[in-house]
Chain A
Amino acid sequence: MYIGERVEGRNNRLVVAGAGTYVDDVRPEGCLVLAILRSPHPHARIRRIDVTAAEGRDDVELVLTGESLLAAGIAIPPSGSYANFTPRMTVKHPLAVGKVRYVGEPVAAVVAHDLVGARAALDALMVDYEVLPSVGNALLALEPGAPRVEDEWPDNVMVEYPFEKGDPAAVLGATEPSRIRRGTLVCNRIASTPLEGRGLVADYDPHRRYLTCWASTQSPHILRTLLAGALDLPDSSIRVIQPNVGGAFGGKIPMFPEDIVTAHAAIVLKRPVKWIEQRHEYLPAGGHSRDVRCDYEVAFAADGRITALTTELIADIGAQSTFLGWLMAIVSAGCIPGSYKVDDVRVRLRCVVSNRGPWQAYRGYGKEVSAFFLERILDEVADAVGRPRDEVRERNFLTPDVFPYEQPSGWITDSGDYSGTLAKVKDLIGWEGFAARKAAARAGGRRLGIGIGHELTPEGSSRPDSLLSGTDSATVKMSPHGDVTVLTGVTSPGTGNETGIAQIVADCLGASLDRVRVVQGDTELCPHGNGNYSSRSLTFGGSSAHLAALVVHDKIRRVGASMLDVAPGEVRLDGHRVIAPSGAEVGFGAVAATIYRSPHARHMEGVEPGLEVTRTFKMDNVHHQPEKDGRYNQYPTWSFSTAACIVEVDEETGVVRIEKFALVHDSGMVVNPLLAEAQLHGAITQGIGASLYEEIRYDDAGLPQNLTLREYTLPGMRESVDIVLGHQSTPSPFTMMGMKGVGESGISAPAPAIASAIEDALSDLGVRLTEVPFTPARVWAAIQEAR
C-alpha cells in the first residue's frame, strides 16, 4: 500500500537542481517581450494616449491600448449566474477604456525585443490623465455622494447578500444588556504573493490558426476556454500548457487582463510574445484578499452559549477586473456561524467597490475572515461570562451527531468532530498547567500568553453555471509494456498532488509506484479539469483517477486470471503482478501485452480491447437544484483545524514573538502525510505572516503603500516557528476513501489563536485586539488604549 506513505514529492529532484521549467524559462525562438504601462492614479479619466514616440522606436513591434483592443472586438461581458444573490456586473476591458480605477490598472502594452527595450518603450508612452476624485476605501465609497467607481452604477455597492435564520432581533431584544456585546472587527488586506509572479508566453501559428500558451496558471483548461471566449477562437484552437509553477495559492486562477493582451499580441504579430510580471506590478495590481469589516452584536447565556448573532459585513473588493476574487466575500458570509450552533443568526454582506486594487483568490478564500470574526467573538463571550475560552467553544460547537448540517447560509456541512481537534491541540500545546508557567514568567518580568483558534475550511467548491464547478476528469492508461500513465485535469502548482494521485492509482491497480507516471497541465494531453483550486486535487482529481483505475484493474484482473487459468475473483493484484491463490503469477507487462497484441485471442473473450479509461467523479452532496429539493450546497467536504499557540509580548514595543505553535487538522483520510505536512507548514506560515507581518495598505485616496517586498514583508526564516502538528481523521461520508481537501487548512486559525494569546499575555491590562494584522504599532496602541 502506498496510501498513507511519506513518499517524496515527484518534482523535488527536478526543481532542486534548478532544472524546473517555469514560464520565464520557456523561450520559443524569436520570442518578444511584452510590458504593461499601468495607471499611476487611483481614479482618472484617460484623455489621450500618445503612442507615437513608443511606436517610433526601432525595437518596438507593437503598441496596444484599450481603444485598439476594443477595435479588435476584445471585451469581456459578464457571464454566469449566482444562486442566492445578484451582483451588478460590468463589461471588463483588459486595457483601460475611458478611465482607470486603481493604481496598477493596465493602460497600454508594448512589445519589444527584450526587457530593457520594453521598459524604455514604456517610458516613451505619454498618457494624458484627468485625475478624478477617488475613494480609497469602502467606508469612503459608502458615503452619500461619494465618487462612483463604476459610472453607470447608482452607488458603489456591487452586491448585497443577506440571510437570516430564526429571529435574532427578538432574542437580542429579550436578552439583558449585560449578556450582549457589540463591536467592530477588521481583517486588513493581504496578497498571496507567490515568489514567481504571473506570466504567459503565447505563440500563434497562422497557418494552423492555432495558439499555444504557456502560462503560470492554476487551471489550464479554464484559461483555454476563457481565452477562447475573449479572443473569439474555438476552444480547439488553443492549447494551454502549464509549466512548473512557482507557487499560486489561488493567486493564479484565470483569467488576467495580461493573459488576453499577451495572447492577442502574439496573434497580431504572428510571433511568440512573453509577459512576465514584475513584483512592483504584482503588489498593487496582482490581486488582494481580505479587507473586510464586521460590525457584530452577540447575545449569550450565563454559561457562554451564544443565543443570537448578527453580523454586518462590508467587503472592500476594490475595483473590478477580470479577476475572480470578489466571491471570497460571499464565502466569508456563508461560513457564519460555521462550526458553532447558533439558531438565531442574521448576516448581511455588502461588497463595495473602491479605488483599491481588485481582489483575487487567495488560500482561505474568505473562510479565514469568518474564522477571525467568529473566534474573536467567542473569546469576547468567554471573557464576558468569565469562563475559559476552550470551555466556551465546547459549549457552542456543532456536535458530531448533527451532520450533515445545514448552515444558516444553506450550505451543508458534511461531517466534523470539533471537540476532538480542540482536545488534541490542548495536549500538544500544554494548555493545562500553562497558568503556572505564565505566572512564573510574569514574576520574572516576561509576558507569556496562550491562545486557541478554530477554523473551518469547506473545500471542493463547485459553483452552479460556472466553469469552476465539479468536472475534474482523469484518464488512466496502461501501455503494452504494462507501464501506467495517469492524465489528469487537476494540476499542481507545487503542492505535490501528482505524487498523491500516483499513490492512489498504484494502490488501486496493485501497480508499482515507480511504474505510474502522472501527467498534468496540458489541455491537449489531459482530460478536462478545473486545475487547482479549493483543495480539489485529491478529492476530485484523485477520485476520478481512482474510478478510471478501477476499470483498468478489472480488465487486468480478468485477463490475468484467464492467463493463470483461475477465476477472476480468485486472483489479487499486487506488486505489478496478478497472483493466483497457488502463488502462480503473471506480470502486468505480460497481461498488457496480451491485451494489446492478442485482442482476438482466448484471454480476451468478452473483453473490450484497449487499456485507456477516462472517468469523472461526481460528488453526491453538491446540490444545485434548490427549486427541486430545497438544497443548495457548493462545498462537498468541510475540513477543520484547531490551533493553539504561546506567545511572548514585549509590552513596551508591542512586539509579539511566537514561542510555540501547534495545530491539529482533520482533513479526513490523508494520502501522503509528508506532503500534507508540507502544505500545513506553508499554510500556517502564511497565516502567521498575515497575522503579524503582512498588510497591503492604501491611503485615503487609494494610493498603495507597498510596492516592494521591503514594505510588503513576508515571514522569513528568522520569523519561522517550530510548528507542532497533530492529525485527526473524520472521513467524509461522501467522498471516495473519505478524503477531504487539505490545501487551505492551517491558514485561518493562526490569526485568532495569536490574537487570543496576545490578549492572554496582557490579560491584567484588559487589552482587546480587533484588527489583524497585529503589527507592533497596533499592539502597542491597544496597550495604550487599555491603560
Chain B
Amino acid sequence: MSPLTAEAVFVAPRTLPEVYTALEALGPAATLLSGGMSLMPMLNRGIGPRDAIVSLGRVDGLAEVTLRGGRLSIGATATHTAIARHPLVARSAGVLATAAGGIGDLQVRNRGTIGGAVAHGNAGADYLTVLSALEATVVIGGSAGERRAALGDFVLGLRSTDLRHGEVVTAVEVDGSAPDAAAFLRYHRVQGAAPTITAAAVIRDDRTVLAIGGATPTPTVVRVSSVEQALAAVDAACAANPLGDAHNPPDYRRAMAAVHTRRVLEEAAA
C-alpha cells in the first residue's frame, strides 16, 4: 500500500513524449491508466499505488487503427468495441475482431483497451491468445525511444510483462494481409468470469499457428503439423506449467485445452 501524498496527481497528456516525461517525473509511484478495466478494480480495493495517475486517455492518435506497409497497427487505446467494429480489423484480422467482440460485456468493451490488456498480461486473456496466433508484435515507447517485441517475448508470465518503468505499450501490430483461415474460441464458465480457455488458430500459406490461453501462465503457442501433434504439444505444455484456480483446477484446464485445441483447429479448417 502506498503512503498517501497530500496532493494526489492526475495527468492526462496529449502526446506520448509528455506521458514519458510525466512517468519519469513521478517515478515508481506513477500508475499508468488506459481503459482501467483491470486496473480500476484493484485501485478501488486499495491495491497498488493510486496517488499519481498518468492517463493515456487523451493522447492524440493513440487509438488509431492503420494499415501501412503490409502491417495492421492498432493503437494502444483502441477500445475492444472499436476493434470489434473496425473495418480494417475485419478485413485484415477478422479473428481479432471476433475476440474483441467477446470480451466481458458491452460496458467493459466500451472502455477496455488493447494496450491495457496486453500490458496487464493476464493468463487466458482473449487478446494474448489471438495475438499470439497472429504472431503479433508489441510496440513499446519510452523516453529512450521505441522498441518492438514479439508478443511471446513481451509476456513473461502470469500478469508479468517486459514493460519497464517509464515505458508504454503504444500499439500492437499484426500481418496486414488476411490469413487464409482463422478461428477464435472463448470458453467461460459464466458471464463476468475471466475466460477459462481461449483458443485461436490462424492458417496462412499452409502454415497453422495455434494458441491456447488459460491452461498455462502464458499462452501456449504451437506451429501445427497435425491435430495429434498439436494436442501432444499443448498437453506437454500444460503438464510442464500447470495453471488453475478454485473453480477450474489444473487437470480440468488441461483437459479443456485439449478439447479447445481440437475444436478451434476444426473450426479454422472448416
| Contact status A653-B187, CB under 8 Å | yes
Residues of chain A from 642 to 684 with CB closer than 8 A to chain B in the complex: 652-655
Residues of B within 8 A of A652 (CB): 259
Whether the pair B191, A123 counts as a contact (CB closer than 8 A) is no
Q: Once the chains are docked, how many angstroms separate the CA of A707 from the CA of B46?
A: 13
User: Is there an interface contact between B4 and A120, defined as CB atoms closer than 8 Å?
Assistant: yes
CA distance A714 to B249 in the complex (A): 20
How many A-B Cβ pairs are below 8 Å?
71
Interface 9-residue window, one of A417-425, A525-533, A775-783: A775-783
Given the interface pairs A123-B46, A706-B246, A710-B194, the reply to whether A775 lies near B189 with Cβ below 8 Å is yes
The reply to whether B4 and A776 contact each other, CB–CB distance below 8 Å, is no
State which residues 685-708 of A face B: CB under 8 Å. Answer: 692-693, 695, 697, 705-708
**Chain A residues within 8 Å of B3, by CB:** 123
Given A123-B3, A123-B46, the answer on whether A710 and B247 have CB atoms closer than 8 Å is no
Instruction: Say whether A716 faces chain B, with CB atoms less than 8 Å apart.
Output: yes
Q: Confirm or deny: B245 has a beta carbon within 8 angstroms of a beta carbon on chain A.
A: yes
Determine if B246 and A653 form an interchain contact, defined as CB atoms under 8 angstroms apart: no
CA distance A776 to B190 in the complex (A): 10
| With contact pairs A652-B259, A653-B256, A653-B259 given, residues A713 and B246 touching in the complex (Cβ less than 8 Å) | no
Q: Determine the chain A residues whose CB is within 8 A of the CB of B247 once the complex forms.
A: 695, 697, 711, 775, 777
Interface size on A, residues (CB 8 A): 34
Distance of A729 Cα from B3 Cα, bound (Å)? 63
A777 B248 Cβ-Cβ under 8 A: yes
A652 to B191, CA, bound (A): 20
A748 to B: closest C-beta gap in Å: 21
Question: Which of A120, A711, A781 is close to B252, meaning CB atoms less than 8 Å apart?
Answer: A781
A781 to B193, CA, bound (A): 20
**Which residues of B have CB within 8 Å of A716?**
105, 190-192
Instruction: Tell whether, in the assembled complex, residue A713 and residue B259 are in contact, meaning their CB atoms are under 8 Å apart.
Output: no
Cβ-based interface call for A718 (8 A): yes
Query: Is B107 in contact with chain A by the CB < 8 A criterion?
Result: no
A122 touches B255 (CB 8 A): no
Residue of A whose beta carbon sits closest to that of B260: A653
> Is residue A205 contacting chain B, with contact meaning CB distance below 8 A?
no
Report how far A119 CA is from B45 CA in the complex, Å.
9
The smallest C-beta distance from A466 to any residue of chain B, in angstroms, reads 36
* Chain B residue contacts of A655, Cβ below 8 A: 187
Bitwise, B1-12 to A at CB < 8 A (1) or not (0) is 111100000000
The answer for the CA separation of A120 and B5 in the assembled complex, in Å, is 10
Minimum CB–CB distance from A58 to chain B (whole Å) comes to: 9
Interface residues of B in 130-172 (CB under 8 A from A): none
Q: Which residue of A lies closest to B47 (CB)?
A: A280
> Which residues of the partner chain B approach A119 to less than 8 Å between Cβ atoms?
46
B69 proximal to A (CB < 8 A):
no
B70 at interface (Cβ–Cβ under 8 A)? no
Contacts of A122 in B (CB 8 A): 46
Q: List chain A residues, Cβ under 8 A from B1.
A: 123
Q: Which of B3, B45, B190, B245 has the most CB of A within 10 A?
A: B190
Pair A776/B191 contact, Cβ less than 8 Å? no
Which B residue sits closest to A650, measured CB to CB?
A: B259
Distance A46 CA – B171 CA, assembled complex (angstroms): 49
Contact: A713 with B190, CB < 8 Å? yes
Chain B residue numbers with a CB within 8 Å of A719 are 190-191
B45 adjacent to A280 (CB under 8 Å): yes
* Residues of chain B at interface, number, CB under 8 A: 26
CA distance in complex: A711, B245 (Å):
10
Complex interface: chain B residues within 8 A of A697 (CB):
246-247
- B192 & A709 in contact (Cβ 8 Å cutoff): yes
> Closest approach, in angstroms, between the C-beta of A129 and any C-beta of chain B?
16
Whether B249 pairs with A777 at a CB distance below 8 angstroms is yes
Q: Which residues of B contact A705 (CB under 8 A)?
A: 245-246
A706 to B196, CA, bound (A): 16
A residues in contact with B41, CB < 8 Å: 708, 710
A residues in contact with B189, CB < 8 Å: 693, 713, 775-776
User: Given contacts A695-B247, A705-B245, A711-B246, are A780 and B255 in contact (CB under 8 A)?
Assistant: yes
Complex interface residues of chain B between 204 and 261 (CB less than 8 A to chain A): 245-249, 252, 255-256, 259
- B259 cross-chain contacts in A, Cβ below 8 A: 652-653
- Give A378 to B153 CA distance when docked, in angstroms: 56
A278 to B43, CA, bound (A): 13
Query: Is A715 on the interface with B (CB-CB < 8 A)?
Result: yes
CB interface residues, B 66-83, toward A, < 8 Å: none
Which of B2, B194, B252 touches A777 (beta carbons < 8 Å)? B252
Q: In the complex, how many angstroms separate the beta carbon of B31 from the nearest chain A beta carbon? A: 15
- Residue of B with least CB distance to A694: B190
Measured in the bound complex, the distance between the Cα atoms of B41 and A654 in whole Å is 30
Residues of B within 8 A of A124 (CB): 4
Find the B residue at minimum CB distance from A707.
B45
Residues from chain B with Cβ under 8 Å of A710 in the complex:
41, 192-194
Q: Which residue of A lies closest to B194 (CB)?
A: A710
The distance in angstroms between the C-alpha atoms of A230 and B4, with both chains bound, is: 35
Q: State how many angstroms separate the Cβ of A46 from the closest Cβ of chain B.
A: 19
Question: A108-138 interface mask toward B, CB cutoff 8 Å, 1 = contact, 0 = none?
Answer: 0000000000011011100000000000000
Chain B proximity of A654: nearest CB distance (Å): 8
The interface bits of chain A over 749-787 (1 if a CB of B lies within 8 angstroms of the residue's CB, else 0) are 000000000000000000000000001110011000000
- Please, which residues of chain B bring their CB within 8 A of the CB of A780? 252, 255
Task: Note all chain A residues with C-beta closer than 8 A to B46.
Answer: 119, 122-123
Residues of chain B with a CB closer than 8 A to A711's CB: 193, 245-247
| Docked pose: A707 CA to B45 CA in angstroms | 10
Q: Is the CB of A693 within 8 A of B248?
A: no
The 5 A-B residue pairs whose C-beta atoms are closest, nearest first, are: A120-B4, A705-B246, A777-B252, A697-B246, A716-B191
Can you report 10 A-B residue pairs in the complex whose CB atoms are below 8 A from each other? A652-B259, A653-B259, A693-B189, A707-B45, A710-B41, A711-B193, A714-B192, A715-B190, A777-B247, A780-B252
